[in-house]
Amino acid sequence: MNHENSRELYDRALSVLPGGVNSAVRAAIEPYPFFVQKGDGGHVVDADGNRYVDWVMGLGPLLLGHDLPQPVQSSIQQKASEGPMYGMPTEVEVDLAEFVVRHVPSVEKIRFVNSGTEATTSAVRLARGYTGRNKIVINQGGYHGAQESTLVEGDADNPAPSSAGVPQAFAEHTLPVPFNDQEAVTEVFEEHGDDIAAVLTEPILGNYGIVHPEDGYHDFLREITEEHGSLLIFDEVITGFRVGGLGCAQSEVGVTPDLTTFGKIVGGGFPVGAIGGRAELVEQFAPSGPVFQAGTFSGHPVTMAAGLETLQFAAENDVYGHVGDLGDRLRDGLADIVADQAPEYTVAGTDSMFKVIFTRDGEAPTNGADVKNAETDRWRRVFWGQMKDEGILLSQNQFECQFVSYGHTDEDVERTLEAYKEAL
């Protein structure tokens, strides 16, 4: 496989972009990432003309695959041709808001922003503003974007910035606990209950694993937050409109959070984020409330049209059936291969999310530490490259999950299982 053009592009990129990329994880591939020329259904073609079955799918946003159905495409093109944006409200923002409110159990009102990071940043500010409290409980191994309140590692007794540039004084307002650990949450509420504005959690850890919640974990979070007057925030940036269909993961988990953050799919492949929840809460945002929140590009007409038409297409066609069936076939096939060839590994995922975790003991991970203990170097440095050489593109490291799209086919699944059989 020739990668000369990617190599040259990366060489140029290194001179003008930090690390040669615009988002950190893209540089994980060694010795250099390949550059994409275009997408095609469930495939991508790189700058050297190599074609791959693409399970990265934009790292989450592309529910329909690379070829947008005709109504989605024409709506996007029409909005773009009418002038990209105005700094004034448009009808399509109301249409998409109504759609989300209609389908997601916890959402009565919603504010659209431009990224998942912006959504979680605003949700944390809203929770602090509403409760008058400072502390946020997060999960170790959870991901909420590149924001100050969640770039925090360590534990509740010793929180520390996980990035340069985050003051220790900020990190002290964040309490990281292991996922699925009810005792740890009980302890932080015993110690800090009166100062906890919110528990911010992913329904399923999607950026570190995948790790599934144990039965009752989210019910427990619902109860303990209510007991202490704290908010429960589900970060559904990755699970929203992917797990549990149009009702999102919360409809599958059966727990109603106070606030939900969205991103990825809800923008149909364009930059997006959103914060939804009970009307009384979301109205705390300016101008109806005291929590400042604003954005030049927020509710961008092209994004709103792409999101609305994508979700409407999913509502009217068998999108979730298709991706769920292929997801099941992948996970079942992978489970057989793993049982035969690498019984210490674990197949994780649900709906259209999947991942083989290189665990050392065949035990499904229950928290971030379990995933961290997996053979992450083997995954990225040995296994990933062999899959790529077989024409199968997996996410850039052990931690990011992989996605089935409406553009994938039975043949893509068969080829992928064959490649796993060779590479594992």
Ligand X SMILES: *Cc1c(COP(=O)(O)O)cnc(C)c1O
- Chain contacts with ligand X (rule: CB under 6 A): 115-117, 120, 143-145, 202, 206-207, 235, 237-238, 263, 273
Out of 135, 264, 355, 388, the active site residue is 264
Report the alpha-carbon distance of residue 373 to residue 236 in Å, rounded.
25
Q: Pick between residue 6 and residue 350 the one whose CB is nearest to ligand X.
A: 350
The span from the CA of 233 to the CA of 213, in Å, is 15
The C-alpha atoms of residue 57 and residue 265 are separated, in whole angstroms, by: 11
Of 145 and 407, which CB lies nearer to ligand X in the complex structure? Answer: 145
Question: Is 332 in the active site?
Answer: no
For residue 338, the minimal CB distance to ligand X (Å) is 25
Choose, from 52, 143, 217, 320, the residue flagged as catalytic: 143
Tell how strand 36-40 and strand 43-46 pair up. Answer: antiparallel
Pick the catalytic residue: 46, 235, 258, 370? 235
Q: Closest separation between CB of residue 113 and ligand X, Å? A: 9
Q: Quick check: is 264 catalytic?
A: yes
User: Residue 419 Cβ, how far from ligand X at the closest point, in Å?
Assistant: 26
Per-residue exposure over 129-148, b if at least 16 CB sit within 10 Å of its own CB, e if not: bbbebebbbbbbbbbbbebb
Q: Tell me which DSSP letter residue 213 carries.
A: P
Q: Looking at beta carbons, which residue is closest to ligand X?
A: 116
Nearer to ligand X, 120 or 122 (CB): 120
Question: What's the closest the beta carbon of residue 273 comes to ligand X, in angstroms?
Answer: 6
> Which residue's CB is nearer to ligand X, number 249 or number 374?
249
Query: Which C-beta is closer to ligand X: that of 206 or that of 307?
Result: 206
The sign of the CA dihedral 19, 24, 29, 33 is: negative
Which residues 6+ apart lie within 8 Å of 71 measured at CB? 309, 312, 313
Q: Between 3 and 218, name the residue whose CB sits nearer to ligand X.
A: 218
Angle ∠(315,317,322) on CA atoms, nearest 5: 110
Distance CA 382, CA 160 (A): 32
Backbone angles phi, psi at 67, to 5 degrees: -95, 110
Length of the chain counted residue by residue: 424
End-to-end CA distance of the chain: 20
What's the angle, vertex CA 301, arms to CA 300 and CA 306, rounded to 5?
100
Least separation in angstroms between residue 39's CB and ligand X is: 19
Listing DSSP states for 5-24 in one string gives HHHHHHHHHHHHSGGGSSSG
- Number of C-beta neighbours around residue 184 at 10 A: 20
Minimum gap (Å) between residue 265 Cβ and ligand X: 11
Which residues make beta-bridge pairs with 348?
355
Tell me whether residue 59 or residue 246 sits nearer to ligand X (CB atom).
59
CB of 79 to ligand X, least distance (A): 20
143: annotated active-site residue? yes
Catalytic (active-site) positions: 143, 235, 264
